[in-house]
Amino acid sequence: AQKVTQAQTEISVVEKEDVTLDCVYETRDTTYYLFWYKQPPSGELVFLIRRNSFDEQNEISGRYSWNFQKSTSSFNFTITASQVVDSAVYFCALSEAGEGAQKLVFGQGTRLTINP
Amino acid sequence: DAGITQSPRHKVTETGTPVTLRCHQTENHRYMYWYRQDPGHGLRLIHYSYGVKDTDKGEVSDGYSVSRSKTEDFLLTLESATSSQTSVYFCAALQGLNTEAFFGQGTRLTVV
């Protein structure tokens, strides 16, 4: 069965610090997709990134970067030079490419607080 | 929001009453999902659908049922609401395996 674990329940850092959010997943499939979503205090869920299981290249988007390592089943998210606006709950998610049905499973989320 | 609307946005109901939440999408997404969000638990999958009349259970399906008679609508029903079903409910939809999910705004349900 697929499973996503975000062991860090809450993280608090001071503005401009770098912070890494961990995500570990379990799946039996060889084809799957990983996602990160952001939930700001306003409550909506905002898509950040999608990565398929065949693409282990790290990705950088501005201050955000993602490190995907199949060997350790991890898909970690780093924010460089954090800002107060980065304060949110961040979710990692896993989707398996099964026949017909497709489950999309989320981790427990990490609440990130950036203090000025 | 990619054309995903949840209704109602807020509801207070009494224990034992039936409740139906609606998720409506306008983008012809094949897959639709219902999640509940509770502190300390993140987003937990209740039920999902992979086509009209094709649904399956998620990890917390007890006490919930769903129906999808049209592509655009996915209904979540609490047959007899309990206080433990007080939560924020999110609907999501996506087109295919390699696409991101789009979420509705959420429904805050309180069972008293």
pLDDT digits (tens, 9 = 90+) for B47-101: 999 999 999 999 999 999 999 999 999 999 999 999 999 999 999 998 876 778 8
- Contact predicate A110/A48, CB 8 Å: no
Is A104's CB within 8 Å of B100's CB?
no
* B92 in contact with A, Cβ within 8 Å: yes
Closest CA of chain A from B100, distance in Å: 7
pLDDT for B14 equals 97
Of A114 and B3, the structure prediction assigns the larger pLDDT to A114
- Contact predicate B111/B13, CB 8 Å: yes
Of B104 and A1, the structure prediction assigns the larger pLDDT to B104
Portion of chain B with pLDDT greater than 70, in percent: 97
φ, ψ dihedrals at A107, nearest 5°:
-80, 180
User: Which tokens go with A93?
Assistant: 């998610």
Closest C-alpha among B101, B111, B107 to residue B22: B107
pLDDT for B97 equals 67
* B38 in contact with A, Cβ within 8 Å: no
- Element holding A3 (H helix, E strand): strand A3-5
Is A104's CB within 8 Å of B31's CB?
yes
Q: What is the DSSP letter of B3?
A: T
* Dist CA B21 CA B88 (whole Å): 11
Confidence bin at B2 (pLDDT 50/70/90): low
Asked whether the predicted pLDDT for residue A90 surpasses 80, the reply is yes
Give the residue from chain B lying closest to A33, CA to CA. B98
SS3 state at B85: helix
- Contact predicate B76/B23, CB 8 Å: yes
Asked whether the predicted pLDDT for residue A101 surpasses 70, the reply is no
Asked whether the predicted pLDDT for residue B1 surpasses 60, the reply is no
Give the mean pLDDT of A52-57: 87
φ, ψ dihedrals at A67, nearest 5°:
-120, 110
Measured CA to CA in angstroms, residue B7 lies from A40, B1, B47, B92 at distances of: 21, 14, 17, 13
pLDDT in tens, A5-23: 999 999 999 999 999 999 9
